[in-house]
Amino acid sequence: MVIDRGTPQGAPVPRLTQVGPELAEILLSRAVVNRRLDWGQVDFLTDSIIRGEWQLTHQGIALDGPLDTGCLLDGQHRLNAIIKAGVSVWIYVFEGLQESAFPVLDTGKRRSGVDTLSSTGEKYLPLLHSTIRHVLLFKDMPDSSWSGSRARIANGRILAAYTEDSDMYREAVATGRSLSKHLFASQTGAAVGYFVTNEAAPAAKVASWIKGLTSGANLEVGDPRLTLTKVPHVKGRGRKRRYTMREQVAIYIKAWNAWVQDEKIENLRFRKTEKMPMPIEVKFDR
């Protein structure tokens, strides 16, 4: 295989640059074409910057000339996020990109969260990704909607969460697949409920909880485990629809909390205006 190590004529020159809000505004004022902005994407990038999760990659800003005079061809979302965050970040600025390249910018397929987790060798990757994402949403924004642009989680954060607690996430996925056969909740809803309650209790307590949900043997009326297994699917117009993921997790936790406190409960529901219940912590037996 022959590799041409020469530089093609007219190739853009990358320059690693620290871009702050002031420079971002200057570059945006020199935009050749003002694309319609996806403000959800801007908010997503802004949150990444504010959280300190911004990653330096090959993706950056493209100009048709040098930094001090070139017109902006690509990078509007990143620059608007820098302005909105009010924070400077390191980013590659490509100088001298041919304007004829504009139509093919950003036409590639984005890497999904599932793609990011593929290197882990885990099974059930869509379920694993969904579980991690919703556990993070539970911790970050329990009382807000878990859909829409504000609910996006960066792929790097998904992978970092998995790496930090891979055994527990693997266990949650397996348990969610099993529990969903006995509950109204989806595999993800059951996995997230299991994960967040398991964090609050010793293994023996959790094992007793799971056994009651899966077998139902010798459970009295009013036992929260029995009540949870009796929660019906919500019926829509001519077909069944599931509760939202936030509703599923909330109802699971409500049942858990009642069980931990030895309370009898015969009905479980969660109104959208309610705050997310937090799992009651169970002290470890000594």
Condensed to tens digits (0 to 9), the pLDDT of residues 112-146 reads 778 778 878 898 999 999 999 999 999 999 999 99
More confident residue, 200 or 7: 200
Domains of the chain: 13-104 (3.90.1530), 113-260 (no CATH)
Q: pLDDT for 227-260, tens place per residue?
A: 999 998 765 554 555 689 999 999 999 999 999 9
The CA distance from 151 to 228, in Å, is 27
CA distance to 44, 78, 153, 205, per residue, from 37 (Å): 13, 11, 19, 50
Mean pLDDT, the chain, integer: 86
Decide: 250 and 270 in contact? Cβ < 8 Å: yes
Residue 191's nearest CA partner among 180, 200, 181, 182 is 180
- Global pTM reads 0.70
